[in-house]
Amino acid sequence: MRHARNNELTDRRSAAADAKASLLTAYRAAKTAAEPSRAARQTERISFVEAREARRAERERVKVEERTRLETLAAQEQAAIVAAATAEIEARRSAENTRISGVVQDEAARKAERDRRYAARKARQA
């Protein structure tokens, strides 16, 4: 009684075909049953992607603003440095001109004093 059934090739083939058909119907049923949750997952994934893109765009915008702010700050600092250097050069030039004019005035005063002494000496001799 070991082989109570007569398991011929055609019986095995039909059993395999029936098993495949039942697996296919089970797959189709599971697929149609999971359709609403799949759509929900898909919309959730789309919302995650949109949120990620929005965060990335915000980070990029902040980076650009920060870079622009730093460039503006650097330009202002550079302008301040140039203005300070120009003011210092102008101050040195002004001090140099003042010193030169003072030397010229002293020289003129010395020459005038010398000429006055010379004229006084000539007046005494005459």
Tens of pLDDT along 34-74? 888 888 888 999 999 999 999 999 999 999 999 999 999 99
Distance CA 42, CA 36 (A): 10
Region of 7 please: left (phi>0), alpha (psi -120 to 50) or beta. beta
Q: What is the pTM of this model?
A: 0.47
Tens digits of residue pLDDT in 105-121 = 999 999 999 999 999 99
User: How big is the chain, counted in residues?
Assistant: 126
CA 123 to chain centre: 86
Cα separation, 103 vs 120, whole angstroms: 25
Cα–Cα distance between 6 and 73 in angstroms, integer? 93
